[in-house]
Copies of this chain bind each other. A is one copy, B any other.
Amino acid sequence: MLKVFICGGSGYTGSELLRILALHDEVEIVGVTSEKSAGMKVSELFPAFFIYKKLKFESLNTEAIKNRADVYFLALPHGKSQQVAAELLQAGKKVIDLSADFRIKDVRIYEQWYKTQHLFPELLKEAVYGLPEIYREKIKKARLIANPGCYPTSVILPLYPFLKKKLIDTSTIIVDSCSGVSGAGRKADITLSYCEVNEDFRAYNVAKHRHTPEIEQEVGFASGSSITIDFTTHLLPLNRGILSTIYASMKKDLSTAEALEILKEQYQNEPFIQIMPEGELPSMKYVRGTNYCYIGAVVNPRTKRLILVSAIDNLVKGASGQAVQNMNIMFGIDEAKALRSLALSP
Protein backbone atom coordinates (compact mmCIF):
# COMPACT_ATOMS: atom_id res chain seq x y z
CA MET A 1 0.00 0.00 0.00
CA LEU A 2 1.27 3.38 -1.02
CA LYS A 3 1.23 5.84 1.84
CA VAL A 4 -0.37 9.13 0.91
CA PHE A 5 -0.45 12.42 2.80
CA ILE A 6 -2.68 15.39 1.96
CA CYS A 7 -1.54 18.85 2.94
CA GLY A 8 -4.63 21.07 2.89
CA GLY A 9 -7.57 18.74 3.12
CA SER A 10 -10.45 21.01 4.01
CA GLY A 11 -10.75 22.93 0.75
CA TYR A 12 -12.47 21.62 -2.35
CA THR A 13 -9.40 20.14 -4.04
CA GLY A 14 -8.33 18.53 -0.77
CA SER A 15 -11.73 17.06 -0.08
CA GLU A 16 -11.92 15.87 -3.67
CA LEU A 17 -8.70 13.91 -3.09
CA LEU A 18 -10.38 12.30 -0.08
CA ARG A 19 -13.40 11.42 -2.22
CA ILE A 20 -11.41 9.94 -5.09
CA LEU A 21 -8.85 8.07 -3.00
CA ALA A 22 -11.64 6.41 -1.00
CA LEU A 23 -12.07 4.13 -4.03
CA HIS A 24 -8.34 3.54 -4.60
CA ASP A 25 -7.37 0.13 -3.29
CA GLU A 26 -3.60 0.55 -3.54
CA VAL A 27 -3.21 3.60 -1.33
CA GLU A 28 -3.68 4.44 2.30
CA ILE A 29 -4.21 8.01 3.46
CA VAL A 30 -1.98 8.37 6.48
CA GLY A 31 -2.57 12.02 7.26
CA VAL A 32 -4.32 15.19 6.26
CA THR A 33 -3.85 18.77 7.38
CA SER A 34 -6.08 21.77 7.86
CA GLU A 35 -5.26 24.83 9.88
CA LYS A 36 -8.86 25.83 10.48
CA SER A 37 -10.15 22.37 11.27
CA ALA A 38 -7.11 20.93 13.07
CA GLY A 39 -8.28 18.47 15.70
CA MET A 40 -11.54 17.63 13.96
CA LYS A 41 -12.21 14.27 12.43
CA VAL A 42 -12.57 14.32 8.67
CA SER A 43 -15.98 12.68 9.09
CA GLU A 44 -17.09 15.51 11.36
CA LEU A 45 -16.23 18.27 8.92
CA PHE A 46 -17.49 16.25 5.98
CA PRO A 47 -20.27 13.90 7.12
CA ALA A 48 -20.45 12.70 3.52
CA PHE A 49 -17.02 11.15 4.01
CA PHE A 50 -18.10 9.05 6.98
CA ILE A 51 -15.54 6.34 6.21
CA TYR A 52 -12.77 8.60 7.52
CA LYS A 53 -13.88 8.08 11.11
CA LYS A 54 -10.35 7.82 12.49
CA LEU A 55 -8.51 10.31 10.34
CA LYS A 56 -8.15 13.70 12.03
CA PHE A 57 -7.10 16.98 10.50
CA GLU A 58 -3.80 18.12 11.90
CA SER A 59 -1.91 21.37 11.70
CA LEU A 60 0.75 21.39 8.98
CA ASN A 61 4.25 20.77 10.34
CA THR A 62 6.53 19.65 7.57
CA GLU A 63 9.20 18.40 9.91
CA ALA A 64 6.72 16.17 11.72
CA ILE A 65 5.10 14.69 8.64
CA LYS A 66 8.04 14.24 6.31
CA ASN A 67 8.63 10.62 7.24
CA ARG A 68 5.07 9.43 7.32
CA ALA A 69 4.25 8.90 3.66
CA ASP A 70 5.58 8.06 0.21
CA VAL A 71 3.80 10.81 -1.67
CA TYR A 72 2.42 14.18 -0.60
CA PHE A 73 -0.38 16.06 -2.28
CA LEU A 74 -0.15 19.78 -1.62
CA ALA A 75 -3.56 21.44 -1.86
CA LEU A 76 -2.25 24.66 -0.36
CA PRO A 77 -2.50 28.28 -1.48
CA HIS A 78 0.14 29.40 -4.00
CA GLY A 79 3.13 30.89 -2.28
CA LYS A 80 2.72 28.43 0.58
CA SER A 81 3.42 25.27 -1.35
CA GLN A 82 6.96 26.19 -2.31
CA GLN A 83 8.53 25.78 1.09
CA VAL A 84 6.64 22.62 1.98
CA ALA A 85 7.50 21.03 -1.36
CA ALA A 86 11.17 21.90 -0.98
CA GLU A 87 11.40 20.34 2.46
CA LEU A 88 9.59 17.17 1.45
CA LEU A 89 11.78 16.74 -1.62
CA GLN A 90 14.79 17.28 0.61
CA ALA A 91 13.50 14.39 2.73
CA GLY A 92 13.42 12.22 -0.37
CA LYS A 93 9.68 12.24 -0.86
CA LYS A 94 7.60 12.69 -3.99
CA VAL A 95 5.38 15.72 -4.20
CA ILE A 96 2.32 16.52 -6.29
CA ASP A 97 1.64 20.22 -5.94
CA LEU A 98 -1.85 21.39 -6.86
CA SER A 99 -0.95 25.05 -6.41
CA ALA A 100 0.51 27.27 -9.12
CA ASP A 101 3.93 27.45 -7.47
CA PHE A 102 5.82 25.21 -9.85
CA ARG A 103 3.84 25.63 -13.05
CA ILE A 104 5.49 28.70 -14.53
CA LYS A 105 9.03 28.04 -15.67
CA ASP A 106 10.00 31.71 -15.90
CA VAL A 107 10.43 33.07 -12.37
CA ARG A 108 9.84 36.65 -13.42
CA ILE A 109 6.51 35.80 -15.01
CA TYR A 110 5.47 33.86 -11.90
CA GLU A 111 6.40 36.75 -9.63
CA GLN A 112 4.71 39.32 -11.86
CA TRP A 113 1.36 37.50 -12.04
CA TYR A 114 1.30 36.01 -8.55
CA LYS A 115 2.82 38.98 -6.68
CA THR A 116 4.94 36.60 -4.61
CA GLN A 117 8.62 35.88 -4.57
CA HIS A 118 9.71 32.46 -5.73
CA LEU A 119 12.25 31.01 -3.31
CA PHE A 120 13.14 27.85 -5.19
CA PRO A 121 13.83 28.71 -8.82
CA GLU A 122 16.05 25.64 -9.16
CA LEU A 123 13.07 23.40 -8.38
CA LEU A 124 11.13 25.06 -11.18
CA LYS A 125 13.50 23.45 -13.62
CA GLU A 126 12.98 20.03 -12.16
CA ALA A 127 9.22 20.26 -11.75
CA VAL A 128 7.22 18.40 -14.39
CA TYR A 129 3.99 19.98 -15.62
CA GLY A 130 1.55 17.23 -14.80
CA LEU A 131 -0.50 16.97 -17.96
CA PRO A 132 -0.15 13.24 -18.72
CA GLU A 133 -1.39 13.54 -22.30
CA ILE A 134 1.71 15.64 -23.07
CA TYR A 135 4.29 14.83 -20.40
CA ARG A 136 3.57 11.23 -19.44
CA GLU A 137 7.12 10.01 -19.88
CA LYS A 138 8.54 12.77 -17.73
CA ILE A 139 5.88 12.24 -15.10
CA LYS A 140 6.94 8.62 -14.71
CA LYS A 141 10.32 9.74 -13.44
CA ALA A 142 9.33 12.96 -11.68
CA ARG A 143 9.89 13.78 -8.03
CA LEU A 144 7.90 17.03 -8.21
CA ILE A 145 4.71 17.46 -10.20
CA ALA A 146 3.26 20.88 -10.92
CA ASN A 147 -0.34 19.80 -11.27
CA PRO A 148 -1.98 21.93 -13.99
CA GLY A 149 -4.59 24.59 -13.36
CA CYS A 150 -8.20 23.82 -14.17
CA TYR A 151 -8.64 26.34 -16.97
CA PRO A 152 -5.25 25.55 -18.57
CA THR A 153 -6.11 21.84 -18.70
CA SER A 154 -9.30 22.64 -20.58
CA VAL A 155 -7.49 24.95 -23.01
CA ILE A 156 -4.17 23.23 -23.67
CA LEU A 157 -5.60 19.82 -24.49
CA PRO A 158 -7.79 20.94 -27.43
CA LEU A 159 -5.24 23.40 -28.82
CA TYR A 160 -2.18 21.17 -28.51
CA PRO A 161 -2.35 19.11 -31.73
CA PHE A 162 -3.18 22.14 -33.87
CA LEU A 163 -0.26 24.07 -32.43
CA LYS A 164 2.15 21.20 -32.78
CA LYS A 165 1.17 20.92 -36.43
CA LYS A 166 1.35 24.71 -36.86
CA LEU A 167 -2.16 24.86 -38.26
CA ILE A 168 -3.37 28.01 -36.56
CA ASP A 169 -2.38 31.64 -36.53
CA THR A 170 -1.13 31.95 -32.95
CA SER A 171 -1.75 35.68 -32.79
CA THR A 172 -5.51 35.13 -33.08
CA ILE A 173 -6.21 32.82 -30.15
CA ILE A 174 -9.15 33.90 -28.00
CA VAL A 175 -10.29 31.73 -25.12
CA ASP A 176 -13.68 32.23 -23.50
CA SER A 177 -14.05 29.99 -20.47
CA CYS A 178 -16.80 29.42 -17.93
CA SER A 179 -16.36 27.73 -14.59
CA GLY A 180 -18.59 26.44 -11.84
CA VAL A 181 -18.29 28.00 -8.40
CA SER A 182 -16.16 25.31 -6.76
CA GLY A 183 -13.28 26.70 -8.81
CA ALA A 184 -13.19 29.65 -6.44
CA GLY A 185 -12.53 27.42 -3.46
CA ARG A 186 -14.32 26.69 -0.21
CA LYS A 187 -14.55 29.92 1.69
CA ALA A 188 -16.81 32.46 3.36
CA ASP A 189 -17.00 35.23 0.79
CA ILE A 190 -20.09 37.30 0.23
CA THR A 191 -19.58 37.42 -3.53
CA LEU A 192 -19.65 33.61 -3.58
CA SER A 193 -22.70 33.31 -1.34
CA TYR A 194 -25.64 31.48 -2.80
CA CYS A 195 -27.91 34.44 -3.51
CA GLU A 196 -25.13 36.40 -5.21
CA VAL A 197 -24.24 33.62 -7.66
CA ASN A 198 -27.52 31.85 -8.26
CA GLU A 199 -29.42 33.09 -11.35
CA ASP A 200 -26.40 35.22 -12.13
CA PHE A 201 -23.57 35.02 -14.63
CA ARG A 202 -20.62 37.35 -14.83
CA ALA A 203 -17.19 37.77 -16.34
CA TYR A 204 -14.30 38.23 -13.92
CA ASN A 205 -10.59 38.98 -14.00
CA VAL A 206 -10.93 39.94 -17.66
CA ALA A 207 -7.50 40.33 -19.31
CA LYS A 208 -5.75 39.57 -16.03
CA HIS A 209 -6.56 36.03 -14.92
CA ARG A 210 -3.52 34.26 -13.45
CA HIS A 211 -4.01 31.20 -15.58
CA THR A 212 -3.11 33.29 -18.64
CA PRO A 213 0.69 32.88 -18.39
CA GLU A 214 0.31 29.16 -17.67
CA ILE A 215 -1.73 28.68 -20.83
CA GLU A 216 0.59 30.91 -22.84
CA GLN A 217 3.62 28.95 -21.65
CA GLU A 218 2.26 25.57 -22.64
CA VAL A 219 0.73 26.58 -25.96
CA GLY A 220 4.00 28.38 -26.63
CA PHE A 221 5.98 25.18 -25.95
CA ALA A 222 3.65 23.25 -28.24
CA SER A 223 4.02 25.69 -31.11
CA GLY A 224 7.65 26.52 -30.51
CA SER A 225 6.92 30.24 -30.37
CA SER A 226 5.89 32.90 -27.94
CA ILE A 227 2.11 33.34 -27.79
CA THR A 228 -0.10 36.01 -26.25
CA ILE A 229 -3.78 35.20 -25.91
CA ASP A 230 -7.01 36.77 -24.81
CA PHE A 231 -8.43 34.73 -21.98
CA THR A 232 -11.76 35.61 -20.39
CA THR A 233 -13.30 33.75 -17.48
CA HIS A 234 -16.92 33.69 -16.33
CA LEU A 235 -18.60 32.38 -13.22
CA LEU A 236 -21.41 29.88 -13.83
CA PRO A 237 -24.23 29.19 -11.37
CA LEU A 238 -23.39 25.53 -10.89
CA ASN A 239 -21.04 23.56 -8.66
CA ARG A 240 -18.60 21.82 -10.97
CA GLY A 241 -17.28 22.05 -14.46
CA ILE A 242 -15.38 24.15 -16.95
CA LEU A 243 -16.37 24.68 -20.54
CA SER A 244 -13.91 26.50 -22.75
CA THR A 245 -14.69 27.90 -26.18
CA ILE A 246 -11.54 28.62 -28.14
CA TYR A 247 -11.30 30.65 -31.33
CA ALA A 248 -8.38 30.81 -33.74
CA SER A 249 -7.83 31.66 -37.37
CA MET A 250 -6.34 28.82 -39.36
CA LYS A 251 -3.22 29.01 -41.44
CA LYS A 252 -4.56 26.35 -43.72
CA ASP A 253 -8.19 25.61 -44.55
CA LEU A 254 -9.46 22.62 -42.65
CA SER A 255 -12.93 21.16 -42.64
CA THR A 256 -14.64 20.32 -39.37
CA ALA A 257 -14.08 16.64 -40.15
CA GLU A 258 -10.37 17.20 -40.68
CA ALA A 259 -10.09 19.16 -37.45
CA LEU A 260 -11.77 16.33 -35.57
CA GLU A 261 -9.48 13.82 -37.23
CA ILE A 262 -6.45 15.69 -35.94
CA LEU A 263 -7.86 15.52 -32.42
CA LYS A 264 -8.70 11.84 -32.71
CA GLU A 265 -5.29 10.97 -34.02
CA GLN A 266 -3.57 12.84 -31.21
CA TYR A 267 -5.67 11.34 -28.45
CA GLN A 268 -6.67 7.93 -29.76
CA ASN A 269 -4.93 6.01 -26.99
CA GLU A 270 -5.68 8.37 -24.18
CA PRO A 271 -7.91 6.89 -21.48
CA PHE A 272 -9.38 10.23 -20.44
CA ILE A 273 -9.94 12.12 -23.69
CA GLN A 274 -13.17 11.82 -25.66
CA ILE A 275 -13.57 13.47 -29.05
CA MET A 276 -17.15 14.33 -30.02
CA PRO A 277 -18.50 13.23 -33.38
CA GLU A 278 -19.03 15.89 -36.06
CA GLY A 279 -22.10 17.97 -35.39
CA GLU A 280 -21.98 17.45 -31.63
CA LEU A 281 -20.26 19.38 -28.90
CA PRO A 282 -19.34 18.61 -25.30
CA SER A 283 -21.80 19.31 -22.53
CA MET A 284 -20.61 19.91 -19.02
CA LYS A 285 -22.80 17.14 -17.70
CA TYR A 286 -20.81 14.53 -19.61
CA VAL A 287 -17.90 15.04 -17.22
CA ARG A 288 -19.54 15.78 -13.86
CA GLY A 289 -17.53 14.02 -11.18
CA THR A 290 -15.18 12.41 -13.71
CA ASN A 291 -11.61 12.65 -14.91
CA TYR A 292 -12.60 12.89 -18.57
CA CYS A 293 -12.03 15.74 -20.98
CA TYR A 294 -14.51 15.93 -23.87
CA ILE A 295 -13.49 17.93 -26.91
CA GLY A 296 -15.47 19.06 -29.95
CA ALA A 297 -14.60 21.16 -32.99
CA VAL A 298 -16.36 23.26 -35.60
CA VAL A 299 -14.81 25.15 -38.47
CA ASN A 300 -16.97 28.13 -39.35
CA PRO A 301 -17.06 28.07 -43.14
CA ARG A 302 -18.00 31.75 -43.28
CA THR A 303 -15.07 33.05 -41.22
CA LYS A 304 -12.60 30.19 -41.63
CA ARG A 305 -12.07 30.17 -37.89
CA LEU A 306 -11.53 27.01 -35.89
CA ILE A 307 -13.78 26.81 -32.85
CA LEU A 308 -12.83 24.28 -30.21
CA VAL A 309 -15.05 23.45 -27.24
CA SER A 310 -13.85 21.41 -24.27
CA ALA A 311 -15.45 20.28 -21.03
CA ILE A 312 -13.85 19.01 -17.85
CA ASP A 313 -14.78 18.76 -14.19
CA ASN A 314 -12.64 21.48 -12.65
CA LEU A 315 -12.15 19.50 -9.42
CA VAL A 316 -11.30 16.20 -11.12
CA LYS A 317 -9.45 16.46 -14.45
CA GLY A 318 -8.91 20.11 -13.53
CA ALA A 319 -7.32 19.32 -10.16
CA SER A 320 -7.54 16.28 -7.88
CA GLY A 321 -8.36 13.61 -10.45
CA GLN A 322 -5.44 14.66 -12.58
CA ALA A 323 -3.29 14.66 -9.44
CA VAL A 324 -4.27 11.05 -8.74
CA GLN A 325 -3.66 10.21 -12.40
CA ASN A 326 -0.18 11.65 -11.98
CA MET A 327 0.37 9.65 -8.80
CA ASN A 328 -0.70 6.46 -10.55
CA ILE A 329 1.79 7.15 -13.34
CA MET A 330 4.61 8.03 -10.95
CA PHE A 331 4.20 4.82 -8.98
CA GLY A 332 3.52 2.42 -11.82
CA ILE A 333 -0.11 1.91 -10.84
CA ASP A 334 -2.83 1.44 -13.47
CA GLU A 335 -3.22 5.04 -14.67
CA ALA A 336 -7.03 4.99 -14.44
CA LYS A 337 -7.23 3.40 -11.01
CA ALA A 338 -9.93 5.13 -8.92
CA LEU A 339 -10.72 7.37 -11.87
CA ARG A 340 -13.13 5.27 -13.89
CA SER A 341 -16.44 6.66 -12.61
CA LEU A 342 -18.80 7.79 -15.34
CA ALA A 343 -20.55 11.13 -15.06
CA LEU A 344 -23.22 11.56 -12.43
CA SER A 345 -25.99 12.16 -14.88
CA PRO A 346 -28.40 13.73 -14.31
Residues of A within 8 A of B (CB): 12, 15, 18-19, 22-23, 46-51, 172, 174, 176, 178, 181-182, 186-190, 192-204, 206-207, 228-230, 232, 234, 236-241, 243, 245, 247, 274, 276, 280-290, 292, 294, 298-303, 305, 307, 309, 340-346
Contacts and interface: CB of A to CB of B under 8 A. Distances in A.
22 contacts: A22-B342, A49-B342, A178-B178, A181-B194, A186-B346, A187-B190, A194-B197, A194-B237, A196-B285, A198-B198, A200-B285, A202-B283, A206-B281, A207-B299, A207-B301, A207-B307, A229-B303, A230-B300, A232-B245, A237-B238, A288-B344, A344-B344
Given A207-B300, A298-B206, A302-B228, A188 B190 contact: yes
Contacts of A281: 202-204, 206
Nearest to A51: B342
A295 to B, nearest CB: 12
Report how many copies the assembly holds: 4
Choose among A48, A294, A299 the residue with the greatest number of B CB atoms under 10 Å from its CB. Answer: A48
A300 B230 CA distance: 8
Given A196-B346, A309-B203, A283 B243 contact: no
Given A12-B346, A181-B194, A345-B15, A238 B48 contact: no
Given A47-B286, A199-B285, 14 more contacts: A22-B341, A48-B343, A49-B343, A178-B178, A186-B190, A198-B198, A199-B199, A199-B346, A200-B238, A207-B299, A207-B307, A229-B303, A230-B305, A236-B237
Interface centre among A190, A290, A292 (most CB of B within 10 A): A190
B340 A22 contact: yes
Contact of A284 (B186, B188, B200, B300): B200
Contacts of A298: 206-207
Contacts of A232: 176, 245, 307
